[in-house]
Chains A and B, each alone.
Chain A
Amino acid sequence: MRPPRLANRYAFGFIAAAILPMALVGLVVGFSLSAYLDQELRGSTRSLIESIALETGRYFQNARDHLLVYAGLLDGGTALRELAGVIGTTQRAHDEIRRIFVLAPGGAVALAAPADEGLEGRDMSGIRLAGLELGGNGGEGGFSRAFLSPIDGSVTVYAGVGLRDGGSVVMELDLGSVSAFLGPLRIEARDEIALVDERGRFIAHSDQENVRLQRNETAFGPGVYGERRLEDGRGRWLVRAAPIAGTPWRAIYYKETSRQRDIISSVLGVAGLVALSCVVGAAALGLGNSKALRGAVAAFSAGVRSVAEGDYAAVIPPPYAELSELSESVAKMAGAVAGREASLREAVAEREQLLKEIHHRVKNNLQIIVSLLNLELGQHPDGPAAAPLEDSIRRVYAMSLVHQLLYANERLDRVDVADYAGRLVSYLSGALGGPLDAVDLKAPEGTVIPPDAAVPFGLALSELVSNAYKHGASPDGTHRLSVSISVDQGELALAVRDEGPGLDEAPPEDGAGRGLGVTLVRALAAQLGGSVAWVRRKDGPGTAASFRFPKPA
C-alpha cells in the first residue's frame, strides 16, 4: 500500500492554522453586526424622542404665545370684556385648552373662559407657576406642576404669563389630548412614549392608565436625561429621555427590545458558536496532525537508529511518500556498511591470527630461552651461577606466560590478571627451590590489564613471591604465602605476605642490601608509575610486600 503524502498532512495543518483567524473574523463580524444593530436601534429611538420632545415643546410654546398675546392686549389697555370674546374663541378652537383665566393681583379669578360665574373670585394662588409668582412681574411666565384631577383623573397643567398690574393670564391645559397624540407616534405597538414631570410622574402616556394610576417613571431618577436599558416583567427596554424645551419636563421613549435583543443575541450566539467550533476543530486537527507526525517521525527515527546501531537488515518503511527515497538510501547505506564491515572483520581476523602467531613464536622463543637456561643450569646445578640462572629462568617464564595467554586469548590487547597471576603462582610454586606448603591467592575476577603492563606486573609478582619464598620461611621450615590482588581507588594492588621471621627493617630505597630482586621490583614499580613497600606484618609474624600501580584503562 502506498504511504500517504506528508504534503497532504501539512496542508491539513495549514487549514487548522487558517481556521483560527477565520474564527476571529467570525467573532469580529458577529460583534460588529450586533453593535451595528444596537446602534441602529439606539439611533432610531434617539431621533424619535428628540423630535417628540421638540414637537411637544412647540405645543407648550404655542400655548405661551397665545398667553403673551393676551397679556400684551391687557397691558395695552384692552378691556377685560373685549378680551373675553377673543379668549373664548381660542379656547373653543383648541380642545387641549380647558379654560383660560385672567387673574387679579393676589390670584383671584377675574375672568374665566368659558364663562363660569362660579369660578370668578376663586383664589388660585395655590397654583404655583415655575418662573412666575402670581402677582409678580409682567411678561414673565411659566408652567405649574401637573395635577391629577380628583374628579375625572385627567392631568392638568397651568401655563401663565404675568401682567404689569400684578395680575396674570393662566391657561388650564388638559394633557389627556397629549396622551392621545403620543400613541400613534410609537414605532411598534409594544413601545411606549411618555411625558414626565420634574418629579418623575407620568403626565402623559401612550397608555393613559399609567397617568390615571399616578405611576412613576422608573428608568431614570427625577430630572435625568439620556439612555438606559431596563428589564422588567414585561420585557427588555431601551429607554431614552429628552428635555422638553421651555418646561421642566421630559419626553421618554420606551423601546421594547426583546425581539431585537433576541436577534442580536442570536447573531452573537451563532458567531460565538462558529468561532468555538472553529477553535475546537482547529485544535482537534492540529493536535491530531501533531500526534500523527510525531508518531511517524519517531517510528522512522527508531528504524534509522537500529540501522545505525548495526542492525543492517532492519527494514524502515517510509511513513510518507516523500521519505521513500530517504528510506531506500538508508537501506542501501546499511547494505554498503554491512559489506565493508565484513571485509574489515576479515582483515582484522587475519591480522589477529598473525599477531597470535607472533605471540606464539615469541612465547616459543622465550620457552627455548628457558630451555637453554635450564640446560645451562643442568650443566652447573651447584655453581655460583645457578641461583641467577634460576632467577632468569623464572623471569623469562613470567614473560613467556604473558605471550602464551595472549595467543590463547580472543583479545590480543588485554591479559586477565587473575588468570595470569594464578598460572604464574602455580608455576612458581613448582619452580622455586622447594615446594610451597600453602599459597593463598586472591584476585578479583574480570580485572584486565594491557600486555605492556602485564609483563612488569608478572615480573614483580615473580620477584616478590620468590623473595618471600627465599626469606619468608616459617620457623618450622614451611613456606606459607598469601598473594592477594585487588583494585583499590583506581590502583591495582598486589600484596605478598609470608610468615617468616620478618624484616628488621625495610629494604633501603636504593635497593642496596637486597640484591637484584628488590632493585628490579623497584624499577618495575617506577616503570608502571607505582610504588613498592615492605613492612613487618602486624597481624602475625612475617613480612608484607605491597606493590601498587595505577591500573591502566
Chain B
Amino acid sequence: MERIRHLGPLTGAIAAVAAAAILASCAPRAITIGVPIGLTGPASGIGYHGRNGIELAAAEINAAGGIAGRMIDLRVVDDLESPEGGLEAARILAEGGATAVVGFMSSGAASLAIDYLSERRLVVLSPTASSVDFNARDDYFFRLIGSNDNQGRLLAEEAAARGYRRAALVYNRTNRSYTVSVLEGFQAEFERRGGLTVMLDPVAEAAANDYAAVAEEYAASGADCLVVAASSFDAGSIAQELALRGAKAPVFAAMWARTPDLFVYGGATVDGAVLVGAADPVAEDAGPELSRFAEAYRARYGEGPLFSAVFAYEAMRALEAGLRATRGAGGQALKRALLGVRGLPGLQGAISFDAFGDVIRPYFLFEARDGRFERLR
C-alpha cells in the first residue's frame, strides 16, 4: 500500500499532461472565411494580388489576437474567373462552413454566385467586382469598388477632352458583366459629348485569340481612338498587333488592364495608353496608411501591391469590423453590422456602405509611360 502511495507524483504528472491536452483541444474555434479568387487565366494577376491582400489583412488580424479570441482561417478556392467557376467556388465554400466570403475579383465570377450565396445568407464582400448588374440590390453582396460605368464615363471625358470624336470599342466577352458596363458608361458619356462609337468584335482569353483581327477591324473602322475593356493581356496583345501594322492608336483602357503585365505583353507599344485606376499604392503621393500597407506587402511578397490588393485588404478589414460587431457571427447579423459601417478607416480614405452594400469611390486616370503608370488626374 505504501508503495502505491509513492506512485502519486507520477499519476499527478500524467494527469497534468492529460489536462493540458484537453485544455488545448478546447481552444476557440477558428472563423472560416471563404476566398473565391481567380488564380488562373488572363486576369489572375489581379486575383493573385487580391488574395495576397486578403492574406496580409488576415495575418495582421490574427497576429493581433483574432476576433473575440478566434483566429481567421482563410479557405482559398480558384473561381476560374468564370460565372460557372464562381458558382462552384461558392458551393464549395458554403458547404465547407464558411462564415462569410471575401473575394470574386471579377464581376463575371461573381454573377451567378451572388444569388446562390444570398439565398444561404452568406455575406460576400467583393474587392473589385464593379459591374452595374450589382447596383442597388438588397442582397448579401457588398463591394469596396465603385460602379464600373463610372470608369467608362471617366475615359470618355478624357477622350473627348483630347479631341477624339470617333471611338472604336472592344471588350472581353468572358467578363462581359464588367466590360460591357464600362463601355456602356463610355458610350453614354462620349455620345453625350458629341462623339461617335463603333463596337468591334469582342475578344476572349484563349490561345486562338486573333488579336490581329481586332487591329485590322480597328483600321477599317475609321475610328481615331480605341477603347479597351479587357485584360492587360488583351490590351497588350492588341497594342502589339496595331504597332506591327503601323497603326499605333490612342488606347483608352478600363481598370482591368492596369497591371504591370501590360508592359510585358505590350512592351513599348502600350506607351501613351490612358487607363482607369484606383489610388496607386506605390505612388509617391500615397497616404500614410496606403504607404504602410505597400511596405508590409512588399516585405511579405517581394513586390509592390496591385490595386486589387488594396481593395482586397480593405474588404477583409471591413469584414473584420462587421465580425467584431457580431463577435464572429455571420448571416443576417453580419449584414446588418456591415450596413451600419460608416467612416471605417481604409487605405484610400474612409469606407461607408449605402443601403445596398455599395461603396462609391472616385476613380483616377493614369497614362502608361516607360513601363510605369503615371497619374493624370
Q: What residue of chain A has the Cβ atom nearest to residue B207's Cβ?
A: A151
Query: How many angstroms from the CA of A214 to the CA of B236 in the assembled complex?
Result: 21
Which residues 193-234 of B have a CB within 8 angstroms of A?
205-207, 212, 231, 233
Q: Out of A200, A214, A287, which one reaches B44, CB within 8 Å?
A: A214
Interface window among A118-126, A174-182, A187-195, A433-441: A118-126
Asked if A199 contacts B212 (CB within 8 A), the reply is no
Asked if A123 contacts B243 (CB within 8 A), the reply is yes
B112 touches A (CB below 8 Å): no
A17 touches B (CB below 8 Å): no
Q: Out of B7, B47, B266, which one reaches A126, CB within 8 Å?
A: B266
Which residues on the A side are within 8 Å of B240 (C-beta)? 122-123
Asked if B205 contacts A223 (CB within 8 A), the reply is no
Asked if B302 contacts A126 (CB within 8 A), the reply is no
Asked if A152 contacts B267 (CB within 8 A), the reply is no
A121, A123, A198, A288, most chain B CB atoms within 10 A: A123
Which residues on the A side are within 8 Å of B207 (C-beta)? 151-152
B63 touches A (CB below 8 Å): no
A315 touches B (CB below 8 Å): no
A322 vs chain B, min Cβ distance (A): 24
Query: How many angstroms from the CA of A25 to the CA of B303 in the assembled complex?
Result: 52
Asked if B6 contacts A283 (CB within 8 A), the reply is yes
B211 vs chain A, min Cβ distance (A): 10
Asked if B301 contacts A222 (CB within 8 A), the reply is yes
**Secondary structure dominating the interface of A:** loop
**Secondary structure dominating the interface of B:** helix
Which residues 186-245 of A have a CB within 8 angstroms of B?
198-201, 212-214, 216, 221-223
Query: How many angstroms from the CA of A281 to the CA of B266 in the assembled complex?
Result: 79
Interface window among B35-43, B282-290, B326-334, B357-365: B35-43
A127, A128, A150, A222, most chain B CB atoms within 10 A: A150
Known: A150-B41, A151-B205. Is A280-B10 also a contact (CB below 8 A)? yes
B136 touches A (CB below 8 Å): no
Known: A118-B212, A280-B7, A288-B6. Is A126-B263 also a contact (CB below 8 A)? yes
Which residues 357-377 of B have a CB within 8 angstroms of A?
371
Q: What residue of chain A has the Cβ atom nearest to residue B7's Cβ?
A: A280
Q: Out of B3, B13, B206, B264, which one reaches A151, CB within 8 Å?
A: B206
B191 touches A (CB below 8 Å): no
Which residues 19-49 of B have a CB within 8 angstroms of A?
39-42, 44, 47-48
Asked if A287 contacts B13 (CB within 8 A), the reply is no
Which residues on the B side are within 8 Å of A283 (C-beta)? 6, 9
Query: How many angstroms from the CA of A147 to the CA of B265 in the assembled complex?
Result: 11
Which residues on the B side are within 8 Å of A216 (C-beta)? 52, 301
Query: How many angstroms from the CA of A198 to the CA of B48 in the assembled complex?
Result: 16
B137 vs chain A, min Cβ distance (A): 31
Asked if A150 contacts B212 (CB within 8 A), the reply is no
A295 touches B (CB below 8 Å): no
Query: How many angstroms from the CA of A122 to the CA of B236 in the assembled complex?
Result: 11
Asked if A284 contacts B6 (CB within 8 A), the reply is yes
Which residues 124-177 of A have a CB within 8 angstroms of B?
124-128, 147-148, 150-153
Q: Out of A121, A125, A212, A287, which one reaches B268, CB within 8 Å?
A: A125
Query: How many angstroms from the CA of A106 to the CA of B267 in the assembled complex?
Result: 10
For the side of the interface on A, what is the size category? Answer: 35 or more
Q: Out of A118, A150, A199, which one reaches B301, CB within 8 Å?
A: A199
A277 touches B (CB below 8 Å): yes
Asked if B264 contacts A147 (CB within 8 A), the reply is yes
Asked if A121 contacts B244 (CB within 8 A), the reply is yes
Which residues on the B side are within 8 Å of A125 (C-beta)? 267-268
Q: What residue of chain B has the Cβ atom nearest to residue A277's Cβ?
A: B10
A107 touches B (CB below 8 Å): yes
A373 touches B (CB below 8 Å): no
Which residues on the A side are within 8 Å of B244 (C-beta)? 121-122
Which residues on the B side are within 8 Å of A201 (C-beta)? 301-302
A48 touches B (CB below 8 Å): no
Asked if B267 contacts A150 (CB within 8 A), the reply is no
Asked if A126 contacts B265 (CB within 8 A), the reply is yes
Asked if B40 contacts A223 (CB within 8 A), the reply is no
Which residues on the B side are within 8 Å of A221 (C-beta)? 299-300, 302
Known: A126-B267, A127-B264. Is A280-B300 also a contact (CB below 8 A)? no
Query: How many angstroms from the CA of A199 to the CA of B269 in the assembled complex?
Result: 27
Asked if A212 contacts B266 (CB within 8 A), the reply is no
Query: How many angstroms from the CA of A124 to the CA of B3 in the assembled complex?
Result: 84
Which residues on the B side are within 8 Å of A276 (C-beta)? 10, 13
B2, B243, B300, B302, most chain A CB atoms within 10 A: B302
Which residues 235-265 of B have a CB within 8 angstroms of A?
236, 240, 243-244, 261, 263-265
Which residues on the B side are within 8 Å of A127 (C-beta)? 264, 267
The 7 closest A-B pairs by CB, nearest first: A284-B6, A222-B302, A123-B267, A199-B302, A126-B263, A150-B42, A126-B267
Q: List 5 A-B contacts (CB under 8 A).
A: A123-B243, A123-B266, A214-B48, A221-B302, A223-B302
Given contacts A106-B268, A214-B47, 14 further A-B contacts (CB under 8 A): A107-B268, A123-B269, A125-B268, A127-B264, A148-B44, A152-B207, A153-B40, A213-B76, A216-B301, A221-B302, A222-B300, A280-B6, A283-B6, A284-B3
Residues on A facing B (Cβ under 8 Å): 106-107, 118, 121-128, 147-148, 150-153, 198-201, 212-214, 216, 221-223, 276-277, 280-281, 283-284, 287-288
Residues on B facing A (Cβ under 8 Å): 2-3, 6-7, 9-10, 13, 39-42, 44, 47-48, 51-52, 76, 78, 205-207, 212, 231, 233, 236, 240, 243-244, 261, 263-269, 299-303, 371
